[in-house]
């Protein structure tokens, strides 16, 4: 929490209560600061009036005695204008054009407040600077520029050493801002903040711990000269609601809108004067326009004449110089023409000689091109033949691949046969020994086997015929079985229908329960069993025929192997 320690008013106030450079000092007379910071112990945060001891708080209460018209209200208005920005926040009045009367045309008005923290003893300076645009007082309040600033004082810069003047003359607002900015660059501890926007200044005060709501309540209590309780006496519910809304809702945006509306209202109020001034300016411009055009035309004519004279003088000099240069150039060209004529005669002889050489070179080039074309043709013919050969070779690739596959397969078979012969060598030796003894018997057996093979082939043909017949019978049986199954399904469906009809007839009392239905069921079951037996018999016959066919084929294969073995016996044992 901060307490007001000192106030400095510089070049501000009305003519009857003007503050040229006044400092109101309330510091160093209160209680000792409870918990000063370390820098305060070394004097950085202590006011010089404290005499080097522990810092003390400002006066807890102060009374200002002045006669009527002495400037008490002006002082309160100026102090509150620092903490409550905006013309609508003026203390003790509803007139929004009071503060403009406190700043003269040549003034740069400053109101600076020094605050001291009750616990740390640190100081803070908040201030307001005001000046008229162009240092010309105007009836338009928008021409009065207000700026707010705050910083932490140091030994070099404080309330007493503010750079308000330079060589005895007031600094302009921009000059004061530039000087403070340069000091802040040299002393970053100043923490300088500068703005012209009301809501930014209010937010900055809240961040520093200076509650502007307290000053707003003080303004409400100082609206009249009655008791402070009158500030919170509300005659209507609307007044209380408005007070509550002002307390909980920020007013920056409505204030800005009100300022804009007030500006437009002032402009509209001055519309008659502005229209008169506009008509006067338009008439003056209309009367002065012909003179201006004539003067502009005369000035342009004088400029054109001066430039024409200068260009004429320059042109005369250039013509003289050009004449001398062209004369010299003509002599040079005449000499050059003679030299060119001699060179032309020499060049004609060279041209005829070079044309003959060129013709011969063209002939030689044509001969070389012909030879090169013939060589190219021969090369292309050779490439064509090679390409045809490659194409033929590619066409035979399949045959080569087939031969290579057959050779690889034959090699694998030879390797397999070799490995098998190697494993079966003892058995082969024994077999060769026994083969010699049985060769003759095998020849007879081969003849018998051939005869048996022919007979087996004949039996196999007969069995194939039987198998075909059996297969045909099986297909017929299968068709018959399918018909029987369809018939059985139809009978089952019919049975269900009959059952339903029997049940209906039984329910109606036309049929005894269970008499004819059982007979029909037994007959259907008998037919189904007969069909299933017939199908099983046909399938058994078909399997038997298939077994006979397989036995016949096995016998034929055995006969062929026996015949092959007999041929081998006739040819002798195999050789490895």
CATH code for the domain of 184: 3.40.1140.10
pLDDT at 48: 45
Entry pTM: 0.41
CA–CA separation, 20 and 13 (whole Å):
8
pLDDT band at 391 (very low <50, low <70, confident <90, very high): confident
Asked which of 206, 228, 250 is the last residue of a domain, the reply is 228
Whole-number Å distance between alpha carbons of 312 and 315: 5
Structural domain includes residue 320: no
Q: How many domains does the chain have?
A: 2
Last residue of a domain, one of 228, 245, 271: 228
Burial group, residue 97, by CB count within 10 angstroms (0-12, 13-18, 19+): middle
Task: Average the pLDDT over 11-29 and give the result.
Answer: 86
Q: What is the mean pLDDT of residues 319-340?
A: 88
Please give the share of the chain, as a percent, with pLDDT higher than 70.
Answer: 76
Nearest to 373 by CA among 385, 365, 362: 365
Helix (H, G, I), strand (E, B) or coil at 197: coil
Inside any domain, residue 32: yes
CB contact set of 123 (below 8 Å; sequence gap of 6+): 5, 45, 47, 114, 115, 116, 117, 152, 153, 158
- Residue 262: inside a domain: no
Angle at 465 between CA 463 and CA 467, to 5 degrees: 65
Is residue 344 one of the residues assigned to a domain? no
Q: What is the pLDDT of residue 185?
A: 93
CA 130 from centre of chain: 49
What confidence tens digit (pLDDT) does each residue in 226-256 have?
444 555 566 787 777 776 766 666 666 667 7
Whether residue 190 lies inside any domain: the answer is yes
Q: What is the pLDDT of residue 127?
A: 94
Chain segment 511-550, per-residue pLDDT in tens? 555 555 556 556 656 766 776 677 677 677 767 766 776 7
271, part of any domain: no
Q: Categorize the per-residue pLDDT at 44 as very low, low, confident or very high, splitting at 50, 70 and 90.
A: very low
Residue 309 has pLDDT above 70, yes or no: yes
For 176-197, the pLDDT digits (tens) are 999 999 999 999 999 999 999 9
Which residues constitute the domain of residue 443?
423-571
Calculate ∠ Cα 424-426-427, nearest 5°: 65
Q: Distances in Å between the alpha carbon of 571 and those of 180, 213, 436, 566, 574? A: 131, 134, 10, 9, 9
Q: What is the pLDDT of residue 226?
A: 45
Q: What average pLDDT does this structure show over 137-145? A: 83
Residue 106 maps to a domain = yes
Predicted local confidence at residue 43, as pLDDT: 43
Final residue in a domain of this structure, among 213, 228, 243? 228
In a domain, 345, yes or no: no
pLDDT above 90 (res 129): yes
Which residues make beta-bridge pairs with 194?
149
What pLDDT does 249 receive? 64
């Amino acid at each position: 929490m901060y307490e007001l320690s000192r106030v400095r008013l510089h070049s501000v106030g009305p003519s009857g209560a003007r503050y040229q450079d006044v400092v109101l000092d309330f510091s160093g007379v209160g209680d000792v600061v409870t918990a000063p910071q370390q820098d305060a112990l070394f004097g950085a945060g202590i006011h010089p009036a404290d005499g080097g001891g522990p810092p003390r708080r400002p006066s807890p209460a102060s009374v200002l005695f002045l006669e009527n018209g002495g400037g008490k209200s002006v002082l309160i208005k100026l102090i509150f204008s620092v903490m409550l920005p905006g013309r609508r926040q003026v203390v003790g009045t509803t007139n929004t054009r009071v503060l403009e009367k406190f700043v003269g045309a040549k003034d740069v008005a400053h109101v600076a407040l020094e605050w001291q923290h009750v616990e740390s003893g640190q100081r803070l300076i908040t201030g307001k600077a005001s000046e008229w645009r162009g240092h010309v007082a105007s009836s338009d309040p928008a021409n009065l520029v207000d700026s707010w600033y705050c910083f932490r004082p140091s030994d070099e810069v404080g309330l007493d050493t503010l750079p308000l003047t330079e060589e005895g003359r007031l600094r302009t607002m921009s000059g004061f801002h530039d000087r403070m900015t340069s000091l802040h660059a040299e002393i970053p501890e100043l923490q300088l903040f500068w703005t012209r926007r009301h809501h930014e200044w209010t937010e900055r005060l809240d961040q520093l711990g200076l509650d502007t709501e307290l000053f707003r309540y003080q303004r409400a209590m100082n609206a009249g000269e009655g008791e402070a309780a009158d500030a919170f006496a509300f005659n209507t519910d609307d007044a209380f609601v408005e007070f509550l809304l002002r307390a909980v809702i920020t007013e920056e945006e409505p204030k800005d809108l009100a300022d804009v509306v007030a500006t437009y209202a002032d402009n509209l109020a001055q519309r008659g004067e502005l229209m008169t001034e506009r008509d006067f300016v338009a008439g003056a411009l209309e009367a002065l326009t012909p003179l201006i055009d004539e003067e502009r035309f005369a000035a342009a004519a004088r400029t054109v004449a001066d430039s024409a004279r200068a260009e004429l003088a320059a042109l005369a000099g250039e013509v003289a110089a050009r004449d001398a240069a062209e004369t010299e150039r003509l002599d040079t060209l005449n000499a050059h023409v003679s030299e060119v004529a001699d060179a032309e005669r020499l060049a004609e002889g060279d041209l005829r000689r070079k044309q003959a050489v060129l013709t011969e070179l063209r002939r030689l080039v044509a001969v070389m091109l012909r030879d090169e074309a013939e060589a190219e043709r021969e090369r292309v013919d050779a490439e064509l033949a090679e390409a045809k050969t490659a194409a033929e070779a590619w066409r035979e690739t399949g045959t080569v691949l087939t031969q290579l596959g057959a050779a690889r397969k034959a090699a694998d078979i030879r390797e397999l046969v070799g490995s098998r012969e190697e494993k079966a060598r003892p058995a082969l030796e024994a077999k060769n020994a026994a083969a010699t003894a049985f060769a003759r018997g095998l020849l007879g057996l081969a003849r018998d086997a051939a005869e048996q093979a022919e007979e087996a082939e004949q039996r196999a043909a007969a069995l194939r015929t039987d198998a075909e017949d059996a297969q045909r019978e099986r297909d017929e049986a299968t068709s018959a079985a399918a018909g029987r199954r369809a018939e059985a399904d139809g009978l089952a469906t019919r049975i269900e229908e009959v059952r339903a009809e029997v049940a209906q007839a039984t329910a109606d009392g036309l049929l005894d329960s269970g008499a004819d239905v059982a007979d029909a069921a037994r007959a259907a079951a008998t037919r189904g069993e007969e069909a299933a037996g017939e199908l099983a018999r046909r399938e058994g016959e078909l399997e038997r025929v298939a077994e006979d066919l397989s036995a016949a084929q096995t016998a034929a294969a055995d006969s062929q192997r026996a015949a092959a073995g007999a041929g081998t016996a006739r040819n002798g044992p195999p050789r490895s």
